[in-house]
Each structure stands twice: as structure tokens, then as C-alpha cells.
A = this chain, B = another copy of it.
Amino acid sequence: MSYTFLSQHFEQRYHLQHLGAICGWDQSTMMPPGGSEARAEAMSTLAVLCHQQLQDPRLADWFAAAEQEPLAPQHTVSLAEMRRQWHDATLLPEELVRAMSLAGSRCEHAWRSLRPANDWAGYLPLFEEVLNLSRQAASARAEALGLSQYDSLLEQYEPGMRSERLDTLFGDIKSWLPGLITQVQDKQRDETLLQPKGPFAIEQQRALGLEVMALLGFDFDHGRLDVSVHPFCGGVSEDVRLTTRYNEQDVTQALMGIIHETGHARYEQGLPAHWRRLPVGQARSMGIHESQSLFFEMQLARHPAFIARLAPLLERHFGAQPAFSPDNMARLYTRVTPGLIRVDADEVTYPAHIMLRYEIERDLIEGKMEARDLPERWDQLMQSYLGLGTKGNYRDGCLQDIHWTDGSFGYFPSYTLGAIYAAQQAAAIQQLTPLEQLIENRLTSVFSWLQKNIWQQASLLDTDRLIEQACGQPLDATAFRQHLQTRYLG
């Protein structure tokens, strides 16, 4: 009975989050500007309600009682996931949560104008407040969870992941990545690149995007494509709202963005129907989520065989031009250029951006570094990883990301974990049938593999067991390195 009460309680939570997800999507895609104040009030009322819902005093009794009930193995796992969410949501004192939310929105709001103004001095005091509260949160979480301070934050996005393990993993990558980047740049130096000539009408870009989403198995009965300033994959798993942003002069970016978000979307759409209202039926972690978008974007869409399928679609929508040749498009989509901006980075240099942020945020949280030292450390790591300086250029340096403005420390590693998991999944598939062949003739087999091994597993296994069961071994960067070497040097 107590297990049933808990399930109902968490299902109710799922329904409330549904309302927030749709209204959040609406806010970014449909809402007229004048609606924002009322919307913010409504969303904050909902947030309070969802928070209170997990503070319900009956929950402790239900959990205690449910753990004495005879449960089928899957329900035991489900119970554990509910407990994890509940425990996680009740670790921090109410005043700290409120203070963090306030400081976070203040800092994020200011950042929107301070970044373009390159105003580090204006940003610093706001950021110090956010960091200070995040450290308090990390301490409280660390004590309750028996983890180090940074790990207690990491745990929110990557349950079970520890910085010790990341240090080893990233240490390995650091040992070969800079050399690899240099080699790839040498190899690509004499390549000729043709930029496709625009303009590319928005309506045609959208039609192309929809066609590629269909090719990738997106279920339009349970989702749609719209436009927002910052592309995202939102909504709920039964109704996934994917967005993109079009540039009339550049067709390649929106197209690849749509493919990336389609990966996120198929994960959501592929979650087990029976379980998705409960924590155990939801996405395993941010890293696994990103592994799906990066599987679609990097393993599939930038594969020469896939680009060979994209090229005729481009021609059909925009007319033939030399730049649309499969070879040229493949070169464009695999061009490696160290740059300052993470979101513009290519597949090979991307991990450098992440390792830099990881080292900094870990030290910030553990008190080994202060907010004021951020620009110098950033510049120094940028120099060492990518040979680029950011002295005085805060805008394209430590002010470029939104994540830290609201205290989302511990999130960045998920991007590179995702890239690694995606490479492991592609390698596992490759062992059964060459990916090239599947892309050419049996794309649906790829999706079936993901469906069975990742999507349908939701949170029924922990991340290590999920990856081990799917790929034969837990987290390991070998396949990722292999993938980069084959694609960029092979």
C-alpha cells in the first residue's frame, strides 16, 4: 500500500512537471513579451508547489513502510529511485534554496547584459554571491550524502559519478588530445572547403529539418518542431517539444542542431511507456541524455555515409551547388579549429573546453580557488589546452556560459561523458554490423539497438551497469579516442 501511495504521489509530481514543461516551452516559443511577468509568477508558484510536494510529511512514513513490503525487483528499483529524488530534494534548508534561487536569477539576469559589455568587474560580486551559496549547498549535501563537496553537486546530474574517476578519465584524455588536435590540424591544413552559398529560405530549412527528423525516426504524433532563441529539447516524453534557430545565411548549423535535439527527443520518446510517470522510468542522467544527442549528431550525422544521404536532400531543397557535394559537406562537418567558444567547438576540441571548466568548477567548490582568480586561470588553461589566450576577453572567456550564473556547478562533465558513452555505444553496434552499412540501408536497426539498450532501460539500472550491459564495459574513453582517430586521422 505504501508503495502505491508513493507511486501516486510521484505520478502527481510528474503531471505537475508536465504543466511546467509545456508552459516553459511556450515561454520560449510562443509567449508575447508582455506575458512574461505573469508567467514568471505562475512558474514560481508551480516550483514552490513541486517543492512542497516533496516535503509532504507523509513521505517519510510511506518510505519506511514501503521498504518492509514484499516488492517485485523492478518495484524495488523504482522505490530506490523515488527515495533518491526525495532525499535529494530535502537535503537543503528552505532558506538556502530560496537564497540560491534569488542570487541565481539576479546573477543570470545581469549576465545577459554584462557578458556583451565584457564587464567582469560588474559580474564578480554577483558571481561571488552565487559561488558562496553553492559552496554552502555543497557542504550541506556532502555531509548528508557522505561525499566530497564537488561530488555532492555532480551527483545531481550524474548519480554515482565521482571526481576521482573524472580525474583519471580526463587525465587520460589530456595525455593524447592536444597531440591529436595538432595532427588533425596538420592533416586538414591543405583541404579545400566550399561554404554553401545562401540565402537559405527559413521555410525550406524547416522542411528539410522535418524531413531529417522523420528519417531519424522522430515521432510527430508525440512531438513537434518550433523556433526559439536558444534551441532545446523540452516538453514531456509523451509530447516532446524540440526547437531550433534558423540563419538565412547558414543552413549547416540549424540542420545539425535539429539532429542533435532529435537525439535527445528520441530518448524521451523511447522511455518505457509503463514507467515514465515514475523516477525509475525517466532519463538515467544528463550524460546519458547527451550521449543520445551526440550519438545522433556525431556518430550518425557526421558519418560520411550519413552525409551522403543528407547531400541530395540539401540539393532538393536549395538547388544544386558544388558545396553540397558529399565530400565537401563531410569536410565542413568535420573541420577542426581550436576556438574560444564552447558551443561553436568541433567534436575534437570540445573535450578541452569541458576539462577546463571541470577543473575550475571543482576547485571553486572545494575552496581551492576564488571567484576573482577565474579569468587568470581560464586564460592559463585555454593557453595550455588549445593554445589560445583570453586575457581581458571575458566575453569569450569565463563569461561565455550560462551554467555557473545560477549555480549549476557539476553539470559540465556531462557533455564529455555523453561523447564518450556515445562512442562506446557506436563501437558496440559496430561490432555487430559496420555502422556505414546500417546508415546506408538499415538505420532503423540502429534505433532498435538504442531503444532496447538505452531508451527502454530508463533508470532501471545505474549508469555503470547500463553502459556495461549495453556496451560490454563501463565508462571508458578508448572507443572515443578510436573514433576520433579513425574519423580525423584514418
| One of B18, B38, B222 near A236 (C-beta < 8 A) | B38
Q: Which of A398-429 contact B (CB under 8 A)?
A: none
Given A22-B26, A45-B12, do A38 and B221 touch, yes or no (CB 8 Å)? no
| One of B19, B30, B220, B235 near A46 (C-beta < 8 A) | B19
Q: Which of A169-224 contact B (CB under 8 A)?
A: 219-224
A60 at the interface (CB under 8 A from B): no
Q: How large is the interface on A (under 10, 10 to 19, 20 to 34, 35 or more residues)?
A: 20 to 34
Residue-wise interface mask of A (27-40) relative to B, using a CB-CB cutoff of 8 A (1 in contact, 0 not) = 00011111101110
Contact B32 A15 (CB under 8 A): no
A41 at the interface (CB under 8 A from B): yes
Contact A34 B224 (CB under 8 A): no
Contact A239 B34 (CB under 8 A): yes
A64 at the interface (CB under 8 A from B): no
Given A23-B22, A38-B238, A238-B37, do A45 and B31 touch, yes or no (CB 8 Å)? no
A16 at the interface (CB under 8 A from B): yes
A42 at the interface (CB under 8 A from B): yes
A263 at the interface (CB under 8 A from B): no
Residue of B nearest to A13 (CB): B45
Contact A42 B30 (CB under 8 A): no
A51 CB to closest chain B CB (Å) equals: 14
A33 to B239, CA, bound (A): 9
A282 CB to closest chain B CB (Å) equals: 13
A234 at the interface (CB under 8 A from B): no
Contact partners of A222 in chain B: CB under 8 A: 32, 34-35
A428 to B139, CA, bound (A): 69
Give the copy number.
2
| One of B16, B32, B219, B221 near A45 (C-beta < 8 A) | B16
Contact partners of A239 in chain B: CB under 8 A: 31-32, 34-35, 38-39
A377 CB to closest chain B CB (Å) equals: 42
A91 CB to closest chain B CB (Å) equals: 26
Residue of B nearest to A25 (CB): B26
Contact partners of A33 in chain B: CB under 8 A: 221
Q: Which of A443-466 contact B (CB under 8 A)?
A: none
A45 to B53, CA, bound (A): 13
Contact partners of A15 in chain B: CB under 8 A: 41-42, 44-46
Contact partners of A12 in chain B: CB under 8 A: 45
Q: Which of A38-64 contact B (CB under 8 A)?
A: 38-39, 41-42, 44-46, 49
By secondary structure, the A interface counts as: helix
A222 to B35, CA, bound (A): 6
Given A12-B45, A23-B23, do A18 and B39 touch, yes or no (CB 8 Å)? yes
| One of B35, B38, B238 near A35 (C-beta < 8 A) | B238
A20 at the interface (CB under 8 A from B): yes
Q: Which of A298-322 contact B (CB under 8 A)?
A: none
Contact A223 B18 (CB under 8 A): no
A266 CB to closest chain B CB (Å) equals: 14
Q: Which of A333-385 contact B (CB under 8 A)?
A: none
A372 CB to closest chain B CB (Å) equals: 39
A201 CB to closest chain B CB (Å) equals: 15
Contact A220 B32 (CB under 8 A): yes
A39 to B22, CA, bound (A): 10
Contact partners of A20 in chain B: CB under 8 A: 19
Q: Which residues does A use to contact B, with CB under 8 Å?
A: 12, 15-16, 18-20, 22-23, 26, 30-35, 37-39, 41-42, 44-46, 49, 219-224, 235-236, 238-239
| Other A-B pairs beyond A19-B20, A19-B42, 5, CB < 8 Å | A22-B22, A22-B23, A22-B42, A35-B238, A35-B239
Q: List 13 A-B contacts (CB under 8 A).
A: A18-B41, A18-B42, A19-B19, A19-B46, A22-B42, A30-B30, A31-B239, A32-B220, A33-B221, A34-B222, A35-B223, A35-B235, A39-B238
